[in-house]
Chain A
Amino acid sequence: MTAEVNAENTRSGSPPAAPVEGAVDWQQLRAIVRLGLWQSFRSALKPGTGKRAHLLRQLIISMGFVGLFFSIGARRCDDLPTYLTLLFSVAFGIVALSVLPDTLDGRRRNVEVLSSKPIASTTLLAARAVNISIVSALITGSFAVAPMISATWVFNCSWILVAGLFLLLNLGSFAVVVLSVTTFVLAARWFNLDRLRTFAQFLLVSVNLGMMGMSLLSMSEMAIGSESTRFSFSSLPWIKLLPSVWFADFLVSDLGARANLERAGALLVLASALLIAVRLDLGRRYPDLLDRLLESDEQPTSRPLAVLLLETASRLPLIGKWLAPAQPLAVATLILTLTQRELISRLKILVPRVILIAFFVVALSAGDRYFSPLIVAFYGFIGLLTGCDLIKQSSQPAASWPLLAAPIDALQIIRGMRLVVTVKYFALPAVLVTFALFLINPPILAGLLALCYFVETRCLISLLILMSPALPLSAEHVTTAQFVGLGVSMVATLVTTIGYVTVTGAYGLFGYIGLGLGVIGLVMLVFASYWLDRGAAARLQKLEYEH
């Protein structure tokens, strides 16, 4: 209605009428929803290649795979209610941890763009509700496809039941997101919102990795034909207190009083979320909260530990300038300081590190001294790959111009990038691998193998830059497809395994003469590293400023 009035006014030459408070302006609502979706999913240009990174497609595919992992792991569920409880709980957990309040920059941008416009709070709230429902449906929908299909096979669910469950899952996700986002924002009265975002993202990564671990375990059991341990929640009465169970049981439980109470609980959650979504204007009700949300986190600047370490290394007599020359050190300092202060980077490496140490301790305490170095090497390669992606991205890619304007050779930039990847993402696996190698091999052989591993890593970093060249901190989004990363890591591990077996075998057969084979391999790796470095530098040199 308002839109029609505005259109009419525009035709007659008079200024458009201000929207009416309390009514939803559908034209404005459409515009705000479109703006929100563009901000979240608009394709971003990949640096170097100039190709578009389709964020929406990536979201759907990655959530689809997470759902697939869930389906494989969930074959351990003994009955349908247990399966659905797990599915609804995981889906709600993922969606609550994925849809978080905007970052500080996003919040400021929204205030700049929207607060200056004549938009009624009713319209803003409605637009927020529509946005949340679309985003939560995208995440939950992509995640739930595989588990729902799996439910029809494993538990013989009818397609009508599956459709009903799918709808419930989406409604529940919407409610969960509304409630969790509201809780997050209200919690900002006492906690820094960006720190809460970090914590939530850390939990999300843990959930995803946990599911991957479960499914890998299930797949290995399937491969060797062993019967997996099955479980059921039926013996845990407290589980019924979880709201996710109220939604999960909605269509499959009996018509008893307890089940109906659960149904009422689910409806109450949904109604509360709807009411909050369309009625609770936090900015108006808590004006001080809005100011707090727009404040910078004004902590005093402190230098990251890794920077201090590199600076100390650069001051070492004789080898300092070789270990960390001035220009690569400057590049490394820039990357390390910025990535430390940007939340995503920190959390992405934390979980793999924890898993790596846990695995290593468990493997060694279980008496395995042979596969540990290779498995740790594999995790090391995965960390390396993540590191190579993370150092290319920044929330302010346009500010990367000094790396092009300064008189710095591409080789020095690569050295700086490699310093960061080595110190920040590779130091832990390097130490663990070296420790394991020295534990199970004679010192001279272990030393040679460790050297080969380090040079191989050097080759891999250059190869990754060569394959996907981008200046440090020059892109807003860098995503190496998860499976490409996994593939590269597996190939690198395979090469490592072949080399490891060959050199240790030759040493076992021919003693010190057998070491010659290892030395030849090392020399070949050094040559490969040299040429890969030059190739990567040539590709970096061709890059242009794209902002």
Chain B
Amino acid sequence: MEGRNRVDGEPAIELRNVTKDYLTTRALNDVCLTVNQGEIFGYVGANGAGKTTTIKILAGLIRPTAGEAFVCGHSILSQPLEVKARIGYVPESGAIFDKLSPREYLTVVGHLYKLAALRTQDRIEEWLDFFGLMDRIDQRMEIFSKGTKQKVCWIAALLHDPEVLILDEPLSGLDVETISRVKDLMKRFTAEGKTIFYSSHLIDVVEKVCTRIAVLHRGRLIGAGSIDEVRVLSGAPTLEEALMKLWQEQG
């Protein structure tokens, strides 16, 4: 990880009593969880459970109302730049300035992460090639499909070789072949000791790729553990049924 200090055994992500209020709505309520280095951590919950709020807090887009979060041992409140340098973020919306070409957009992103100019171009081409977009490198993205824009978001998240990937519904709009390649990529990523925080409501994908999960319901954490632990605890044969049972128990 090129000159970055990482202490083995230290949690990659840690949330301590994180609460977030939007005007009169409490989106997150006293959430505590720990994600270890080198794991793909699934973050599941129904629509409006608070998944995207958590992700935005971790990515530094919003601040918690109360509590504290750490990424690679750095506080998101007191050391936000240290945290941001270590994470790659794929947003749920796939929002992108589509009047730019992938080359223009990704070059700007590379410079925002202070990558050297030559290295940025190499990495842009490397990743565009991986996602099969080399022939579209200089086209304006406004003519791209949602899935193609999502691929550019993925590249923007991977460009600076982050230690932690924060993914919010990252497979949205991607075709079957790309999904398969992305899953392989995620496995390779964690094999290198890096960490993925994976938020989704697609339970079958979470079940296949994640090592541990946390279950969110109306802003509260109602369960966490390995897939098997969650299944066994609820006495359900599949993760989907286990989650349904947990949510029903919570009303």
Contact = CB atoms under 8 A, between A and B. Distances in A.
Given A330-B109, A402-B112, 13 more contacts: A301-B139, A327-B111, A333-B108, A338-B99, A401-B61, A404-B61, A406-B109, A406-B112, A406-B113, A408-B84, A544-B62, A544-B63, A547-B93
Contacts of B187: none
B104 interface: yes
A234 B63 CA distance: 68
A326 interface: yes
A473 interface: yes
B162 to A, nearest CB: 11
Contacts of B110: 330
A365 interface: no
Interface string B79-93: 011111101010101
A394 interface: yes
A291 interface: no
B130 interface: no
B109 A407 contact: no
B95 A398 contact: yes
Interface residues of B, number: 38
| Most chain B beta-carbon contacts within 10 A, residue among A327, A401, A404, A547 | A401
A362 to B, nearest CB: 38
B179 interface: no
A331 B107 CA distance: 11
B13 interface: no
Q: How large is the interface on A (under 10, 10 to 19, 20 to 34, 35 or more residues)?
A: 20 to 34
Contacts of A258: none
A545 B92 CA distance: 13
B142 interface: yes
A303 B60 CA distance: 30
Interface in B52-95: 56, 59-63, 80-85, 87, 89, 91, 93, 95
Nearest to B142: A296
The 10 closest A-B CB pairs, nearest first, are: A330-B111, A545-B61, A406-B112, A407-B84, A398-B95, A407-B85, A399-B95, A407-B81, A544-B62, A341-B99
Contacts of B59: 401, 404-405
Contacts of B89: 401, 405
Interface of A: 296, 298-301, 303, 326-327, 329-331, 333-334, 337-338, 341-342, 394, 396, 398-399, 401-409, 473, 544-545, 547
A182 B55 CA distance: 47
30 contacts: A296-B143, A300-B138, A301-B139, A326-B111, A327-B114, A330-B108, A330-B111, A330-B112, A333-B107, A333-B111, A337-B104, A394-B97, A396-B97, A398-B95, A401-B61, A401-B89, A404-B59, A404-B60, A404-B61, A405-B60, A405-B61, A405-B84, A405-B87, A406-B109, A407-B82, A407-B84, A407-B113, A544-B62, A544-B63, A547-B95
A337 B100 contact: yes
B140 interface: yes
B98 interface: yes
B96 interface: yes
B100 A338 contact: yes
B97 A334 contact: yes
A299 B100 CA distance: 11
A547 B113 CA distance: 22
Contacts of B108: 330, 333-334, 402
Interface in B87-137: 87, 89, 91, 93, 95-101, 104, 107-114
B93 to A, nearest CB: 6
A545 B140 contact: no
Contact of B112 (A342, A408, A473): A408
